[in-house]
Amino acid sequence: ISSLMAWMQMLEAYGVDKEIVDDMDKDVHRLSIIADRFSKIGSIPELELTYINEAVTESLSYMKSRISERVNLTLNLSKNETGVMLCLPLFEWVMENITKNAVDAMQGAGKLDITVSASEKVIIDISDTGKGIARKNFKTVFNPGYTTKKRGWGLGLTLVKRIIEEYHNGKIYVKDSEIDRGTTFRIELLITK
């Protein structure tokens, strides 16, 4: 990644179109974020006080530009800005993973609602209008190797569960789902007093 960053500076110095260099630079930055996330898995990540509305908004900013225009994304934030202890890069990974799974379940077209609320704890509901999950698989979707896709290893939701439950002392589960109607995943996090 360091080499790629140096090449980016060289391209800019040689007068390569700024728009092209900027796009490439975004991709290199994204690779750096992914490498940082993987480095945090397997070690105890550092948690910092983070405001949940800001964290969710930031997490979705990357995905918004990468999902189909046929997906109607609605974000409903908590009325009161609430602080939680998060490792932001890992939390962003959780939100991106669940969002991508939802878009895949809707085959690129449908409605995706993300709602953040806070009272005794922070609750984040991610609801899609996708193919749904059978009730018998509500817990199994988090097992390593579980996938309904033709490609993939079935590790995304396993990592999501580990990040939320082991690293953030929260909970994640399938709140509700109906076949051919959609699914709601719920994340619960403790509020920092």
- pLDDT over 80 at 92, yes or no: yes
62 vs 30, 39, 76, 122, 168, CA distance in Å?
Answer: 9, 20, 17, 22, 22
Rounded to whole angstroms, the Cα distance separating 21 from 16 reads 7
Q: What is the mean pLDDT of residues 128-132?
A: 95
Rounded to whole angstroms, the Cα distance separating 72 from 70 reads 6
Confidence (pTM): 0.78
State whether residue 14 is helix, strand or coil.
coil
Cβ distance 89 to 36 under 8 Å? yes
Output the pLDDT for position 152: 64
Structure tokens, 23? 């796009």
- Please, which pLDDT band fits residue 30 given cuts at 50, 70 and 90? confident
Kind and range of the H or E run holding 93: helix 88-105
Output the pLDDT for position 71: 94
Rounded to whole angstroms, the Cα distance separating 84 from 192 reads 5
Q: What is the mean pLDDT of residues 92-106?
A: 92
Spatial CA neighbour of 161 closest among 100, 90, 113: 90
Cβ distance 138 to 130 under 8 Å? no
Output the pLDDT for position 37: 65
Cβ distance 8 to 24 under 8 Å? yes
- Please, which pLDDT band fits residue 65 given cuts at 50, 70 and 90? confident
Rounded to whole angstroms, the Cα distance separating 157 from 146 reads 9
Rounded to whole angstroms, the Cα distance separating 16 from 129 reads 43
Output the pLDDT for position 12: 82
- pLDDT over 80 at 148, yes or no: no
